Structure 1
Amino acid sequence: MSVSTHVLDAVTGTPAADLTVRLADVDGVEIGTGSTDRDGRIGAITPSPLPPGRYRLSFDTGAWFADRGRDTFHPEVIVTFDHQGGHSHVPLLLSPFAYSTYRGS
């Protein structure tokens, strides 16, 4: 039904608060947008049930690092995933020069 995310700054070991995230379908049509809270989370980036399909989460990492006076190699992180229905949680572990993601619960 929904998509959530959690972003952690792997260098500082703290949540990545105030990071803009956009959800779009594979054609680039934006479905939802939000900013991570002080715990680095967005509980539901979709206001209504999301049908199964392929989607993309775009994390505006360039602006987030710039706001903190830090350089980054990845100005944007895009995670494409298959939503099976129900709830999809897509965590992001972030550092200035690398990132990792996985299917969360």
Structure 2
Amino acid sequence: MGKLTTHVLDTSHGRPGAGIKVELFALDGDARRALKTTTTNDDGRCDAPLLEGAALVPGEYELVFHAGAYFAAAGVNVPEPRFVDRVVLRFGIADANAHYHVPLLVSPWAYSTYRGS
């Protein structure tokens, strides 16, 4: 059974990104349809897969991580507007039976991602 998961690592502090709002959208061209909103737990992960089973279908998706609000709540002094605020990751799912893990490594100044396992 396929599933979509994520987690966030705060690379500026060397710890999990806990309490980060994450939004998931399905894309159809330029149209976005909201699927789920959740918050990362103390380990920087979501408590359940974002999608799994029949809900995971091939297509294009978008994850929005509210990293700027996380760093502001952590007391990080960053200028306004924030250099990294909402991190938007667009990606495709080709195989609905596979595990797609989309981690985010983030600081107030940079971010990266990859397809994890």
TM-score strictly above 0.5: yes
Paired-residue identity, %: 43
Matched, 1:51 2:61: no
- Conserved in 1, the CA contact under 8 Å of 2:93 and 2:100? yes
Equivalent residue in structure 1 for 2:92, among 82, 89, 101: 82
Mind listing any 5+ residue stretches in structure 2 that lack a counterpart? Answer: none
- Conserved in 2, the CA contact under 8 Å of 1:32 and 1:47? no
Please give the TM-score of this superposition, normalised by the length of structure 2: 0.83
Aligned to 1:41: 45
Matched, 1:66 2:67: no
What is the Cα-based RMSD across aligned positions, in Å? 1.4
Structure 1 runs (4+) greater than 3 angstroms displaced: none
Q: Deviations over 1:54-81 (max 9, x none)?
A: 1000001121111112224111000001
Please give the TM-score of this superposition, normalised by the length of structure 1: 0.91
- How many equivalent pairs are there? 105
Question: CA–CA distance in 2 between the matches of 1:33 and 1:52?
Answer: 20
3-state SS, counterpart of residue 91 of structure 1: strand
Larger Rg: 2
- Conserved in 2, the CA contact under 8 Å of 1:7 and 1:94? yes
Matched, 1:101 2:113: yes
Mind listing any 5+ residue stretches in structure 1 that lack a counterpart? Answer: none
User: Using a 3 Å threshold, how does the CA distance of structure 1 residues 88 and 47 change in structure 2: closer, same or farther?
Assistant: closer
